[in-house]
Amino acid sequence: MRQYEIANDTIDLETRLTQDHHQSLKLWLRMLSTTVMIENEIRNRLRAEFDITLPRFDLMAQLERHPDGLRMGELSKRMMVTGGNITGITDQLEQEGLVMRVTDKQDRRAYSVKLTPAGCKAFKTMASVHEAWVAELFSGLDAEQKSQMIGLLSSVKSDLSASFNAGKHNEHE
């Protein structure tokens, strides 16, 4: 077995399905279980190769896209986690010299977080390896299949966004 091979006999969310379940439920659980498998594999590889967690990698990815830095609240929104989580992750990365807090140019009472030169270098290395891992994990699909899946999921996402923006997601509350 390769170091990063994923087991085929995984017990996951899909194992609770029966033939009687609605096709939409089957699709949702298939997408969710696949996403969880990929995310767990990426988490394991990041830990093994770089001794970093996925949330720390994700925060660095956000900062890499914004070289002038981002405020803590903006990081919290972008990563969809609490401000307390962002503070904890930032503290760890700051102790390692990968990020720094800087006074915000628009509001001197606030501060932003940005990658240090060492953080930029470390993230560039990790991002390159991460991209290769993702390509490997999807290597069972050819380019056409990937395009089809992207198109189908884009349609679902668009439909959901339109529904949520119209307030339809609250119907069952």
DSSP string for the chain: --TTPPPSS---GGGG--TTS-HHHHHHHHHHHHHHHHHHHHHHHHHHHHS--HHHHHHHHHHHH-TT-EEHHHHHHHHTS-HHHHHHHHHHHHHTTSEEEEE-SS-TTSEEEEE-HHHHHHHHHHHHHHHHHHHHHTTTS-HHHHHHHHHHHHHHHHHHHHHHHTTGGGTT-
**pLDDT tens, 156-173?**
999 998 888 887 655 444
- Round the average pLDDT of the chain to a whole number and report it: 87
Average pLDDT over residues 15-34: 77
Percent of the chain with pLDDT over 70: 84
**pLDDT tens, 90-148?**
999 999 999 999 987 777 888 899 999 999 999 999 999 999 999 999 999 999 999 99
Say yes or no to pLDDT of 16 above 90: no
- At residue 169, the pLDDT reads 55
pTM: 0.79
- At residue 1, the pLDDT reads 36
Say yes or no to pLDDT of 32 above 70: yes
